[in-house]
Structure 1
Amino acid sequence: MAQAHPTLTPQLLRQLTLNPADHPRGVAHLSAASGLVQLGDQLYVVADDEVHLGVYDRRAMDAPGTLLRLLGGDLPEDKGARKKTKPDLESLTHLPPLPGYPHGALLALGSGSKRRRETGVLLALSAHGAPTGAPRTVDLAPLYAPLHARFADLNIEGAFLLGNELLLLQRGNKGNALSACIRYEWNQMAPWLLGEQTTPPSPHAVQAMDLGEVDGVPLSLTDGTPLQGGAWAFCAVAESTDDSYHDGACMGSAIGIVAPDGQVKLQLLAGAPKVEGIAAQATDGGWLITLVTDPDEPSTPAQMLQTQLAL
């Protein structure tokens, strides 16, 4: 079980606002931020109820973000109908140079919690680290099929590269309290993502993770990001729901570090923001952590938060 430490109080950096003229439904914000990647001054956000990528500039925190389409079609305005049809893009990660992607790529992954949520998107980056070209979709069903056999309620909410491995993070819930870290060899995963191999690799390790509870609700992984030397950071929430489909009250949230030897240390977040995306930037005293939230309410803007995590 993770070791808890004193509570951190994250600072509000901004609301994830948009120009409503740029949104297909005329919405002035992202409302369900679920994955975060920082490349230089650019912050890329996927939202689980959108088919676009949100792009924000750290140098212009008062300016609205821009949208970049990842998938075709538009989602219904009704909250319930949108929930049934959304691709549920929960993870976003930065990939290194690959054949056909000389400057790397962004990879967004659906959660796999329903069949229509088994789509991934590859988006090439330019030499300056900006998205370029048309996105390419990836059918994740073959990759997720063995995971459905292992996890009764599959819900992949984090993905990132750590050394020569791709890590996927399974989010638990009250029905199945344990989260898990699923590890793949990157040199086996990359050819499959590019369509060079028809059969995806199997994970070489699956680590169950017990992050403790808040008021009887298990803390569960919602995203992760690499640090240095084989360590990684994560965010987690204690959402009072029995499955991966229905929303519930957020009873608590936390960020933490997994050491190279697997030891976990976490700190609870004051105010229990429902944090679902994380990025880390090294500082002299540790790590500057940026987070994005999912308030589970379409009329409420998601937030971008920041806190310092000491070594």
Structure 2
Amino acid sequence: MLHLTQRRTLTLQAPETPGGHAHVSAASGLVRAGKWIHVVADDSLYLATFPAEGEAPGRLLRLFPGELPLEPKARKALKPDLEALCLLGGLPFAPHGALLAVPSGSTPVRMKGALMPLAADGSLGGEVREVDFTSLYAQLTRELGPLNVEGAAVAGARLRLLNRGNGDVGADAVVDLDAGRVLRTLEAGEALKPDVVRTVRRWELGKAGNVRLSFTDAAPLPDGRVVFTAAAEDTRDAYADGAVMGSAVGVLAPDGSPLFLDGVDAKVKLEGVDARVEGGRIHLLLVADADDPAVAAPLFETVLEGLP
């Protein structure tokens, strides 16, 4: 079992909405770039950025126009549900890389992502572009049934999406997109189409207690492997929240097959992961979602031992 060490909570300089809380609560995607840690929350119109070291409050960058209501049910119905954040290279308009925020696709209003160029130090450094996932997600829904994309990572020539199969009819799946075609589409400012899909494969990750573990995020390793998080949430579908029975961390091989899976020692819903190799070990940063807007999301760290 993996031991999680809490590094900080995700406090903000100011709340997103007047009268709201000055912290990220529903943290759902995580990327460390240079001196900064970037986090998307599934109930927000903003990206939150934090110093990689220390506990200084983060600041917000607007991704989409408008305002979300504070009342939880109304906010849930209108939120863009950004569930994954991944680092992209190879974009002429973003020579230092870019972040792609990926929506879940679990309702018709959750089909819009965002592309954000980075500066040389890893901070945000350019105009935000909206990305339309509607056509791509329509094709994936035809293949998988109810969609709930929660992880995204570049693995070699593929942009790997992880679909979370929580609920009675959802399917955990690894969806490989042609990364080169995706980048060309993003560079042209066009909507993502079904022609970027290469393979769709279903997986079963086991259970925590009597509840099925399902993918919640992904992070790339330099050799083409992908670290993933998974959570066991007792819910009937991809929309409703439920009791969390536990979370786990795993690794996918470059071909997308599972190599490793281990539980964590805290009953939290892990929703975001960043991975890097240092000193021959895989070091992870992870964020959790408490499904409570009054609770600040924690940032954890851990190390995967025994994996080259």
The TM-score normalised by the length of structure 1 is: 0.93
Which residue of structure 2 lines up, in the alignment, with residue 79 of structure 1?
Answer: 72
> Structure 1 residue 150 and structure 2 residue 143: aligned?
yes
Offset of residue 197 of structure 1:
5.8
Contact 1:254 1:266 in 2 (8 A): yes
Which residue of structure 2 lines up, in the alignment, with residue 58 of structure 1?
Answer: 52
Which residue of structure 2 lines up, in the alignment, with residue 91 of structure 1?
Answer: 84
1:119 aligned residue (108, 112, 117): 112
Amino acid of the structure 2 residue aligned with 1:32: A
Amino acid of the structure 1 residue aligned with 2:12: L
Residue aligned with 2:146, SS: coil
Residue aligned with 2:197, SS: coil
Offset of residue 24 of structure 1:
4.3
Amino acid of the structure 1 residue aligned with 2:263: L
**C-alpha separation between the residues in 1 aligned to 2:273 and 2:203?**
18
Contact 1:15 1:302 in 2 (8 A): yes
Offset of residue 230 of structure 1:
2.0
Q: Deviations over 1:7-46 (max 9, x none)?
A: 1120000111112366544421111000000112310000
Contact 1:166 1:185 in 2 (8 A): yes
**C-alpha separation between the residues in 2 aligned to 1:123 and 1:24?**
25
Amino acid of the structure 1 residue aligned with 2:167: K
**C-alpha separation between the residues in 1 aligned to 2:172 and 2:41?**
21
Which residue of structure 2 lines up, in the alignment, with residue 239 of structure 1?
Answer: 233
Offset of residue 99 of structure 1:
2.7
**C-alpha separation between the residues in 1 aligned to 2:189 and 2:14?**
40
Q: Deviations over 1:165-188 (max 9, x none)?
A: 101110011313641110011111
Which residue of structure 2 lines up, in the alignment, with residue 29 of structure 1?
Answer: 23
Amino acid of the structure 2 residue aligned with 1:13: R
Which residue of structure 1 lines up, in the alignment, with residue 34 of structure 2?
Answer: 40
Which residue of structure 2 lines up, in the alignment, with residue 173 of structure 1?
Answer: 166
Q: Deviations over 1:211-253 (max 9, x none)?
A: 1011211100000111132211100000001111000011110
Amino acid of the structure 2 residue aligned with 1:175: D
2:99 aligned residue (90, 103, 106): 106
Contact 1:34 1:89 in 2 (8 A): yes
> Structure 1 residue 219 and structure 2 residue 213: aligned?
yes
**C-alpha separation between the residues in 2 aligned to 1:289 and 1:249?**
25
Which residue of structure 1 lines up, in the alignment, with residue 254 of structure 2?
Answer: 260
Offset of residue 157 of structure 1:
0.5
Residue aligned with 2:294, SS: coil
1:283 aligned residue (248, 272, 278): 278
> Against the structure 1 CA distance between its residues 184 and 173, is the aligned structure 2 distance closer, same or farther, given a 3 Å change threshold?
same
> Against the structure 1 CA distance between its residues 45 and 199, is the aligned structure 2 distance closer, same or farther, given a 3 Å change threshold?
closer
Contact 2:146 2:170 in 1 (8 A): no
2:291 aligned residue (293, 296, 302): 296
Amino acid of the structure 2 residue aligned with 1:279: D
> Against the structure 1 CA distance between its residues 178 and 197, is the aligned structure 2 distance closer, same or farther, given a 3 Å change threshold?
closer
Residue aligned with 1:115, SS: coil
Offset of residue 97 of structure 1:
3.1
More off after superposition, 131-140 vs 27-36? 131-140
2:264 aligned residue (266, 269, 276): 269
Q: Deviations over 1:110-134 (max 9, x none)?
A: 1100111000101111233221232
More off after superposition, 49-58 vs 189-198? 189-198
1:10 aligned residue (4, 28, 33): 4
> Structure 1 residue 139 and structure 2 residue 124: aligned?
no
> Against the structure 1 CA distance between its residues 144 and 300, is the aligned structure 2 distance closer, same or farther, given a 3 Å change threshold?
same
Runs of 4+ in 1 over 3 A off after TM superposition: 21-26, 195-199
Contact 2:46 2:61 in 1 (8 A): yes
Amino acid of the structure 2 residue aligned with 1:195: A
Contact 2:35 2:123 in 1 (8 A): no
How many pairs are equivalent?
Answer: 304
Offset of residue 192 of structure 1:
1.8
Residue aligned with 2:272, SS: strand
Residue aligned with 1:174, SS: coil
Offset of residue 206 of structure 1:
1.3
Which residue of structure 1 lines up, in the alignment, with residue 200 of structure 2?
Answer: 206
